[in-house]
Amino acid sequence: MSQSTGHRPVVGRFAPSPTGRLHLGSLVAAVGSWLMAKRSGGSWLVRIEDLDTPRVVPGMAEDILRTLETLGLVWDGEVLRQSNRTHLYREALDRLTASGRAYQCGCSRSEIAQISSAPHGTSGELRYPGTCRDGLPPGKPPRAVRVRVDNELIRFNDCIMGEMSENLAETCGDFVLRRADGPFAYHLAVVVDDVLQGVNQVVRGADLLASTPRQIHLQRLLGYQPPDYCHVPLVTAPDGGKLSKRDAPVSLAEGVDIHSCGAVLIHSALTFLGQPIPPLLRRAPLREVLEWGVAHFDPLLVPRISAPFPEVALPY
Ligand code: GLU
């Protein structure tokens, strides 16, 4: 179960991967997490998740930060970058290895595909059949480090999506924490960073709902208190399909003057999130739109299903 933040001040965060400009989906996650933190007088951190180096696009972290600032989504404290923090992920991995929870695996993807007759996990990946659980077969070099999962239901109560549960042994099996000589996996880095930054509320896109049980599993093994989770619905393309990079860029489409469009975008993000913001506020200064959100944001009104972003009549 996720833990209630009770009377602790909320510490929320937005953790973009700098693989492109801020798009409409990440705008919604940023607005949702900022409002959920600010409505209760909490703080809001920004962390750049730049571990997956081949996908990182130079200059995008700065572009995202500038866009957030221009939209009035100002963060507290310094912006952390995961690429500077690998020693912390190594320490956590060493702890899991020392306790026998993490182990080396020598299987390639095609070997796993051949052996695994199981259905694919929720994120479409193959379920690991446990080949190297009891030690690397002779002559097989290690390719990755995996963590053991247990055959049990992991439950949590998402403040938007409701009661969720998953048995990791049935869906993904023992999952990868580090590829051989490669970067640490997102799941490991995110739980280490969230706990070290004191984050107790995670608001992010529903595409990460399927990641949450894995992260809760790691939090339990490492003795960390899970944050509260709120997964906001995904933005789809206008026809309901997957949003492509072309439909989405907030940062907005080239040539868009983000300064004059900020209020309209935040207004539309609030509408997308089910908040009854008065239409008149579309023409209000950005500060007023944000203030309305801080005063009125109600997570119980956020819809659970993906939808297109409201038509944005940008004043350009
Ligand atoms: N870096 C992830 C992304 O941009 C988000 C991770 C998270 O919020 O936990 O999709």
208 C-beta closer than 6 A to ligand 1: yes
CATH for 11-85+189-308 is 3.40.50.620
CA distances (Å), origin 72, targets 32, 53, 240: 13, 29, 29
What is the rounded distance in angstroms from the CA atom of residue 144 to the CA atom of residue 121?
19
For the annotated catalytic residues, the residue numbers are 245
The structure's pTM equals 0.92
Of ligand 1's atoms, which has the minimum distance to the CA of residue 14?
8
Return the ∠ at Cα 236 (arms to 231 and 238), rounded to 5°: 150
CB–CB of 234/243 below 8 Å? yes
DSSP state of 12: E
Q: Whose CA is nearest to atom 7 of ligand 1?
A: 15
Residue ranges of the chain that CATH labels 3.40.50.620: 11-85+189-308
Pocket test for ligand 1, best of 13, 186, 209 (most atoms within 8 A of CB): 186
Report the top-level CATH class of 100-185: alpha beta
Task: Enumerate the β-bridge partners of residue 235.
Answer: 307
Pocket test for ligand 1, best of 191, 204, 212, 243 (most atoms within 8 A of CB): 204
- Distance (angstroms) between ligand 1 centre and the Cα of 202 equals 10
Encode the chain (316 residues) as per-residue pLDDT tens digits. Answer: 444 445 789 999 999 999 988 888 999 999 999 999 999 999 999 999 999 888 999 999 999 999 999 999 999 999 999 999 999 999 999 999 999 999 999 998 888 877 765 555 555 678 999 999 999 999 999 999 999 999 999 999 999 999 999 999 999 999 999 987 788 999 999 999 999 999 999 999 999 999 999 999 999 999 999 999 999 999 998 888 887 765 555 545 455 666 678 899 999 999 999 999 999 998 899 999 999 999 999 999 999 999 998 876 554 3
49 C-beta closer than 6 A to ligand 1: yes
312 C-beta closer than 6 A to ligand 1: no
DSSP letters for 219-254: HHHHTPPPPEEEEEPPEEPTTSSPPPTTT-BTTTST
Neighbours of 86 (CB within 10 A): 13
- Distance (angstroms) between ligand 1 centre and the Cα of 47 equals 9
Q: List the structure tokens of 242.
A: 């997957």
